[in-house]
């Protein structure tokens, strides 16, 4: 099957799950084209991401003249279809905060995409995130392009479902994908009940072969690692507050923060204010090999998020046989089981987070090893990327039939 992936900004260091999904589809014999509206907005450090950048076609890089020409071509080729797409743009713009001008750009991008796909033999479009990439895929379909599907991740889509026209995107799609049962429930809130059968659950996946026999938990001082963009929803500032509560009582507890983002300076300021410079290490963005190394050196992953979909780093930590401390939000409880594979705490509750970190600090190594083994078994059973990509491909082939 020939599939076109429609993305907004690609590749991104935090979107390795898309790269893995595409690779799994290609390994199964499908041909995948990569269309993104724009290229990465941060430096790429992973060679696999750099290779994806070279294979991607960037729509906005074509320039305004090319998009205008494609739009005129669509009008002349099928005024009726263009009018239908334009009406959908008008309705979406009324619901959105971004206004009509932005949505007309989406329509021009869709016209360009449809022209690029014309005659290519592409059978299906798939977008990731229910934002502008899915809007472009939907409009491309309405203009006469292939049927489309899209994967929602959260939390952004669930913060602004009306503004993103999630109901319309689901209605016009061949099917819509959620990455957890929680995510499916949120899509059902904004879809017509008649469209609920279109909403499928396909988990994001990991590659089990990249997680051979896990490294033994290290002896010595307890080490935690947290991985994610430095943005409000990830809750790193709450994690620093929790570390501050344990500063004097748990002198051997160390935290490594992997990632970067707009809150970098605020995080550095809080670390300095609590005099935690020797207890918290910031690495910036690192490649997959470094992430694996940091997980091997840690006793647990901690994810203090305020809002999530279902974090890939939780899956990767569990595959590395590391327990997880996470917040009781979104799809996370479907994977992290308290007392079995880690700890769950209320989001934003610094005292509860510090209590869970204390429990991990005080737990015997044998208890952490048992939790890690349970975590590894659970994530392999639920999140094998080859199996999940096969589910996605089956849905696409059903749609094509």
104 and 47 assigned to the same domain: yes
Contact 127, 141 (CB under 8 A): no
Provide the CB-side half-sphere exposure for 337 (13 A, CA). Answer: 12
- Examine the domain organization and report whether 66 and 154 are in the same domain: yes
Q: Does 378 share its domain with 389? A: no
Query: What is the arithmetic mean of pLDDT over 365-387?
Result: 97
Check whether residue 362 and residue 273 sit in a common domain.
Answer: yes
Helix (H) or strand (E) holding 151: strand 147-152
CATH of the domain at 356: 3.40.50.2000
Cα–Cα distance measured from residue 70 to residue 109, given in angstroms and rounded to the nearest whole number: 9
Is the domain of 45 the same as that of 135?
yes
* Model confidence pLDDT, tens digit, residues 173-228: 999 999 999 999 999 999 999 999 999 999 999 999 989 899 999 998 999 999 99
Band the pLDDT of 377: cuts 50, 70, 90: very high
Same domain membership, residue 73 and residue 49:
yes
> What pLDDT does 287 receive?
85
In DSSP terms, 255 is beta-bridged to 224, 280
Residue 321 and residue 297 in one domain: yes
Measured CA to CA, the distance from residue 183 to residue 326 in angstroms comes to 17
Q: Is the peptide bond before 11 cis (omega within 30 degrees of 0)?
A: yes
177: left (phi over 0), alpha (psi -120 to 50) or beta: beta
Structure confidence at residue 46 (pLDDT): 86
Q: Considering the entire predicted model, what is its pTM? A: 0.89
**In the structure encoding, which two tokens stand for residue 25, read together?**
């589809």
Same domain as 300, residue 171? no
pLDDT for residue 61:
97
Q: Does residue 64 carry a pLDDT above 90?
A: yes
State the pairing for strand pair 124-128/324-327. Answer: unpaired
Residues 252 and 157 placed together within one structural domain of the fold: no
According to the model, what pLDDT value does residue 6 have?
98
pLDDT in tens, 144-177: 999 999 999 988 899 999 999 999 999 999 999 9
pLDDT digits (tens, 9 = 90+) for 109-147: 999 999 999 999 999 999 999 999 999 999 999 999 999
Cα 368 from Cα 63, distance rounded (Å): 54
Rounded (5°) CA angle 385-389-395? 155
How many structural domains are present in the chain? 2
Residue 358: what pLDDT? 98
* Same domain? 169 vs 240: no
Average pLDDT, the chain: 96
Question: Average of pLDDT values for 368-392?
Answer: 97
What backbone phi and psi angles, to 5 degrees, belong to 343? -130, 145
Residue identified by tokens 């260091």 is: 13
Shared domain for 200 and 67, answered yes or no, is yes
> Would you call 274 helix, strand, or coil by DSSP?
coil
The parent domain of residue 310 ranges over 209-382
The 10s digit of each residue's pLDDT in 237-263 is 999 999 999 999 999 999 999 999 999
Same domain, 254 and 146: no
Residues 6+ apart with CB under 8 A from 189: 161
Query: Is the CA virtual torsion 398, 173, 150, 122 positive or negative?
Result: positive
């Amino acid at each position: 099957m020939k599939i076109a992936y429609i993305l907004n900004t690609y590749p991104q260091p935090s979107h390795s799950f898309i790269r893995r999904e595409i690779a799994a589809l290609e390994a199964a014999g499908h041909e995948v084209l990569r269309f993104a509206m724009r290229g990465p907005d941060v430096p790429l450090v992973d060679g696999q991401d750099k290779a994806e950048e070279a294979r991607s076609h960037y729509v906005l890089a074509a320039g305004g003249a090319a998009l205008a020409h494609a739009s005129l071509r669509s009008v002349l080729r099928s005024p009726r279809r263009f009018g239908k797409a334009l009406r959908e743009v008008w309705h979406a713009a009324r619901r959105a905060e971004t206004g009509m001008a932005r949505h007309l750009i989406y329509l021009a991008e869709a016209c360009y995409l449809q022209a690029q796909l014309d005659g290519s033999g592409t059978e299906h479009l798939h977008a990731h995130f229910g934002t502008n990439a899915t809007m472009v895929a939907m409009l491309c379909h309405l203009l006469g392009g292939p049927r489309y599907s899209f994967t929602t991740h959260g939390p952004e889509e669930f913060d602004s479902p009306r503004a993103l026209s999630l109901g319309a995107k689901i209605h016009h799609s061949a099917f819509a994908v959620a990455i957890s049962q929680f995510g499916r429930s949120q899509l059902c809130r904004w879809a017509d009940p008649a469209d609920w059968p279109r909403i499928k659950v396909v988990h994001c996946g990991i590659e089990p072969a990249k997680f051979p026999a896990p490294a033994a938990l290290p002896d010595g001082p307890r080490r935690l690692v947290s991985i994610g963009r430095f943005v409000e929803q990830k809750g790193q500032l709450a994690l620093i507050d929790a570390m501050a509560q344990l500063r004097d009582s748990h002198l051997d507890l160390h935290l490594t923060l992997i990632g970067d983002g707009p809150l970098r300076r605020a995080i550095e300021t809080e670390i300095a204010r609590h005099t935690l410079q020797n207890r918290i290490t910031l690495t910036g963005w690192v490649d997959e090999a470094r992430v694996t190394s940091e997980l091997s050196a840690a006793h647990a992953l901690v994810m203090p998020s305020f809002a999530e979909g279902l974090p890939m780093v939780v899956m990767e930590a569990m595959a590395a046989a590391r327990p997880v401390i996470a917040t009781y939000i979104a799809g996370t409880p479907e994977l992290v089981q308290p007392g079995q594979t880690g700890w769950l705490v209320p989001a934003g509750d610094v005292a509860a987070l510090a209590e869970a970190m204390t429990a991990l600090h005080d737990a015997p190594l044998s208890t952490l090893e048992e939790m890690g083994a349970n975590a590894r078994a659970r994530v392999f059973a639920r999140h094998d990327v080859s199996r999940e990509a096969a589910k996605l491909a089956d849905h696409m082939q059903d749609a094509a039939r």
